[in-house]
């Protein structure tokens, strides 16, 4: 089995755990952790939007001079329960602010809590790694918080992940893909979710990564209740990209800096985001 420490030391799939951006969870890719070992990511992401993808296509302002901003410290942790089972925990504390002519709202609160398991289905010494993942998300905030960090309901998501590392000349590169279905209780629509990511170890210390994320709501579209957070509509579609640079600061330490933007969507915010994170393996 390709272990995370081996991958990191050889500069192959440095992206096996990547801090994502506003509205998305942290992601662990197809690799699992060795028993008793793991990784912790501590980071912060910022998001800003002044317009939204409209339900009819195109874009429209959030409101009269409307601006939504969020800054979210986040933690993602993985630990190997066995050589095939990995435990996952993720939480954040978003600080959000919305302003428009004649209206202003701000909040800082514990966001959604996520916990789950990843099971290696195929983990050879080389070649494709394949795993299955189950995540459960629950709100950690009061329904009175405004802007709310999320929709305030229970979500359960199952997904299939695949990835591999490979040489590119004298360098190492990696590719990962994920597809899954998120069941959402209450008013919000269920979703299909996907991710594609690739990276290359450009130097012994620097890895360049690119990611694309996709969300598509399914089922009947409920009536929209516009609120000060444009990222928590109950029914929306969204495509987002993120580019990152990861610097190896030591054998067990990595520093990530990234920037991304919303490419296309329906009935959700159209914004830009940045991310900074520190990774620690153990």
Cross-strand pairs, 224: none
Alpha helices in 20-159 (DSSP H): none
Q: How many helices (H) and strands (E) does the chain have?
A: 1, 15
CB 182 within 8 A of CB 191: yes
Whether the predicted model's global pTM rises above the 0.75 cut: yes
Residue 233, pLDDT above cutoff 90: no
Per-chain mean pLDDT for the chain: 88
Q: Nearest CA to 257 among 282, 237, 228, 279?
A: 279
Instruction: Please give the Cα distance from 50 to 261 (Å, whole number).
Output: 13
Residue 166, pLDDT above cutoff 70: yes
Find the CATH number of the domain harbouring 31: 2.40.160.40
Instruction: Please give the Cα distance from 158 to 63 (Å, whole number).
Output: 36
Q: What is the pLDDT of residue 219?
A: 85
| CA 16 and chain centroid, separation | 12
Higher pLDDT, 190 or 229: 190
State which residues form the domain around 165: 4-281
Q: What is the pLDDT of residue 223?
A: 67
Cross-strand pairs, 281: 39
- Please tell me the total number of residues recorded for the chain in this structure: 282
The total number of structural domains that make up the chain: 1
Instruction: Please give the Cα distance from 55 to 234 (Å, whole number).
Output: 12
- The contacts of residue 144 (CB under 8 Å, 6+ apart) are none
Q: What is the pLDDT of residue 8?
A: 38
Q: Nearest CA to 63 among 227, 263, 236?
A: 227
Higher pLDDT, 7 or 213: 213
């Amino acid at each position: 089995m390709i272990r995370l420490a081996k991958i990191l030391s050889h500069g192959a799939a440095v992206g096996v755990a990547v801090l994502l951006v506003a509205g998305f969870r942290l992601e662990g890719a197809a690799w699992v952790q060795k028993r008793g070992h793991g990784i912790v990511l501590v980071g912060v992401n910022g998001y800003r939007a002044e317009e939204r993808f409209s339900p009819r296509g195109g874009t429209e302002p959030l409101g009269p001079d409307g601006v939504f901003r969020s800054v979210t410290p986040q933690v993602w942790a993985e630990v190997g329960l066995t050589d095939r089972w990995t435990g996952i925990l993720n939480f954040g504390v978003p600080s959000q602010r919305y302003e428009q002519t004649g209206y202003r709202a701000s909040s800082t609160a514990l966001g959604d809590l996520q916990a789950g398991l990843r099971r290696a289905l195929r983990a050879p010494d080389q070649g494709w790694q394949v795993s299955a993942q189950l995540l459960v998300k629950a709100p950690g905030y009061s329904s009175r918080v405004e802007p709310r960090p999320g929709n305030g309901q229970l979500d359960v998501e199952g997904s299939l992940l695949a990835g591999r590392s490979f040489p590119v000349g004298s360098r190492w590169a990696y590719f990962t893909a994920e597809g899954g279905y998120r069941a959402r209780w209450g008013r919000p629509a269920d979703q299909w979710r996907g991710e594609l990511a690739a990276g290359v170890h450009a130097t012994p210390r620097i890895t360049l990564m690119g990611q694309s994320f996709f969300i598509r709501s399914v089922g009947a579209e409920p009536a929209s209740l516009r609120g000060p957070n444009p990222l928590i509509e109950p029914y929306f579609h969204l495509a987002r990209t993120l580019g990152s640079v990861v610097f190896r600061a030591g054998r067990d330490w990595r520093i990530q800096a990234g920037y991304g933007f919303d490419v296309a969507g329906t009935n959700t915010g159209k914004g830009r985001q940045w991310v900074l994170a520190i990774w620690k393996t153990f």
